[in-house]
Amino acid sequence: MCKECGKEAAHLQLFGDASTGGQLKRDSFTSALTDPVSAPRFDSLRKLISEGSARALYGVDLELASFYCPKCDACYCGAHWQRWSVYDDDGWHDSIRGACPNGHERMLED
């Protein structure tokens, strides 16, 4: 949930099981992301999601927690992130960067 307004900052869902693996779906203000999850990682990710540990998810993969500012140790919704696209010299989209309400900058999505 967003530290500023209390609205949902992102929605994460884990599909599959620990024996075969599955996939993680994350919907946030940057995009919808689907990430394969191997069987050995499944239970640890399920635990992090059920605990609501955005800091730990960020530690696993910063794109899983695009809504999280590690310097504030807080989550923010899209209304509270300033965000912009970064393009390569040849015009291809490279990444999404952003700044939290406190001005901390980071890559949100690669």
Please tell me the predicted confidence (pLDDT) of residue 23.
96
pTM of the predicted model, to two decimals? 0.89
Please tell me the predicted confidence (pLDDT) of residue 104.
98
Going from N- to C-terminal start, the domains of the chain cover 10-77
Please tell me the predicted confidence (pLDDT) of residue 103.
98
- Running along the chain, 110 residues long, what does each successive block of 10 average in pLDDT? 96 94 94 94 93 93 94 97 95 94 95
CA dist 29 and 62 (Å) reads 14
